[in-house]
Amino acid sequence: MNIRLVEEKDYQRVLDILNDAIEKRIYTAQLTKATMEGRKSWFIHHAHPKHPMFVIEAEGEVMGWITLTEYRAGREGFRYTSEISYYIDPRAQGKGYGTIMMGHAIEAARELGYKNLIAVIFDTNIASKKLAQKFGFELWGRLPGVVDIDGKVVDCDYWGLKL
């Protein structure tokens, strides 16, 4: 396994992994498939050194990605806080990819001077909650019943980590 910064050649694979999660309707509140055109500014944002996107490869294929995203853009008081998000190809889930990516991203966040990380996780996403807890994230807040996916309502939890 190799973890590295995303490159333009990876963009379609990143979208494929995201779109798989969107189709499953249990990991993200995004309900419409992501397109290259629609995600253009997102990729540009994550080309900035302060907001990196990393991919993890196995045998030359991208199997997952993780981002450090500006939290509450434009509000300078949050400059030391980043939102961490990650998605893993279904074939790679449960094989340690998330652990490797999370450890790498947390170390990168420290090096970038962040003091807080926030992971936004559906209450029903047990695997992501366990991964966050493994790295010391704590439940900082819950937004009850705010996510509605095709009529199924779930809570959205905010998990935080002090760096």
What is the DSSP pairing of strand 116-122 with strand 81-88? parallel
Q: How far apart are CA 160 and CA 138, in angstroms?
A: 5
Domain-by-domain residue ranges, the chain? 2-162
Is residue 2 a contact partner of residue 57, using CB atoms and an 8 Å limit? yes
Place of tokens 């300078």: 76
State residue 97's pLDDT score: 97
Residue 3 bridge partners (DSSP): 56
What whole-number percentage of the chain has pLDDT above 70? 100
Confidence of residue 130 (pLDDT cuts 50, 70, 90): very high
State residue 71's pLDDT score: 95
The pTM of the whole model exceeds 0.85:
yes
Secondary-structure class of domain 2-162 per CATH: alpha beta
DSSP for 118-143, please give it.
Answer: EEEEETT-HHHHHHHHHTT-EEEEEE
pLDDT in tens, 89-106: 999 999 999 999 999 999
State residue 104's pLDDT score: 98
State residue 112's pLDDT score: 98
